[in-house]
Amino acid sequence: MTPLTKSTLTILGLETSCDETAASVVRRDADGRVEVLSSIVGTQFEQHAPFGGVVPEIAARAHVEAIDAVAAEAMRAAGLDFGALDGVAATAGPGLVGGVMVGLAFGKAVALARDLPLVAVNHLEGHAVSARLGASIDYPFLLLLVSGGHCQLLEVAGVGACTRLGTTIDDAAGEAFDKIAKSLGLPYPGGPALEKLAATGDPSRFDLPRALLGRKDCDFSFSGLKTAAARLAEKITDARERADLAAAVQFAIARQLSERTDRAMKLYAAGHPGQALRFVVAGGVAANGAVRAALQKNCADNGFSFDAPPLAYCTDNAAMIALAGAERLAVGISDDLDAVARPRWPLDEAAALSNPSNSFGRKGAKA
């Protein structure tokens, strides 16, 4: 691996793993300082709202229709033309593979036409570096990646060097938020709507199940909570009960995230004696206020610093993909134009293969 000789890298990032068509131009200097020159996110809320969730075929077609205009707007907003780029970074997985293929193919086309290096970025690695878009955060750090499709605790030692400490054995926290919101009749996207409703509720009114109490590891489970909440939602008769159930669900999810994070912090601290202890939370659920408050208390109790991405970069965006690409290019990592789109792509692939948290599907380890 030969690092690029340029001290400052300007990268176009592309993100199409789910229901956002996003493009961003990010500049990273030799000292690791980051400037987001543009960040454009095209949402598909209106297309998916009638179905209460993301429909993969609709998402893929919408990406095809939007990617060219979104990328052009990102370049225009950055005040640059394609000749000013040093590389292209595109999400290559994990995600809805039809959408992933759109952004990756567009990135390959730009790289080929402009003779630029391509970086096929793991979407989860984008989230892992997203807090570095708003602050200077040195490696290593403990990461809680918590989103609609993922829930993991990872030790991040450096660029592309992640070790899994815990993961969900079934559903992700963000999925639980969204599915329970749907059962409560809340609009899509459900997570923010549930948080808003929970602000007026009493979390102590409903006693929801707690998962994996007999285990002392750092794994998560949200399927039981999701089922119990859905059954309670069927019996609710008034607005007060709906708000109370929303508050109870938010409390239960924040509590489980906090409990497992506390265990991971103790394990991490034991393995890094005398070192600065840094904690980062990233992913869409990192925008939830109750979750942030619980995790900030974990940090205070265990002597960790707390960092999270700016709210604009918690949910899926291309700035984090561009930064992940820039960090890889800076140490000489790039990909060939035959890089493939991957529906599954664990950050700690060795752990996923040797000790999968759930079944190994035809397309690879799920987590």
* Whether residue 296 sits in one domain with residue 154: yes
Taking alpha carbons only, the member of 304, 289, 238, 319 closest to residue 26 is 319
DSSP assigned state of 6: -
**β-pair partners for 156:** 141, 162
Contact between 227 and 174 under an 8 Å Cβ cutoff? The reply is no
Q: How far apart are CA 96 and CA 101, in angstroms?
A: 9
Taking alpha carbons only, the member of 184, 216, 183 closest to residue 201 is 184
DSSP assigned state of 232: H
* Whether residue 181 sits in one domain with residue 74: no
Q: How far apart are CA 30 and CA 195, in angstroms?
A: 40
CATH code assigned at 212: 3.30.420.40
* Whether residue 147 sits in one domain with residue 274: yes
Q: How far apart are CA 26 and CA 13, in angstroms?
A: 8
Residue 188 lies in a domain: yes
Residue 2 lies in a domain: no
For residue 361, the model assigns a pLDDT of 46
For residue 363, the model assigns a pLDDT of 45
For residue 355, the model assigns a pLDDT of 56
Amino acid at 169: I
For residue 58, the model assigns a pLDDT of 87
* Whether residue 154 sits in one domain with residue 129: no
* Whether residue 159 sits in one domain with residue 128: no
* Whether residue 301 sits in one domain with residue 163: yes
**β-pair partners for 27:** 10, 35
Low-confidence residues of the chain, pLDDT below 70? 1-6, 45, 349-367
> What's phi and psi for 146, nearest 5 deg?
-135, 110
Would the pTM of this model clear 0.75, i.e. be above it? yes
* Whether residue 116 sits in one domain with residue 225: no
- Kindly give the interhelix angle for 173-183 and 190-198, rounded to the nearest 10 degrees: 70
For residue 364, the model assigns a pLDDT of 46
How far does CA 273 lie from the centroid of its chain? 29
Determine the structural domain holding residue 162 and report its residue range. 141-308
Residue 262 lies in a domain: yes
Among the candidates 254, 275, 308, a domain finishes at 308
- The number of distinct structural domains making up the chain is 2
pLDDT 10s digits, 136-148 = 999 999 999 998 8
Mean predicted lDDT score pLDDT of the chain? 91
* Whether residue 152 sits in one domain with residue 270: yes
* Whether residue 260 sits in one domain with residue 130: no
* Whether residue 327 sits in one domain with residue 291: no
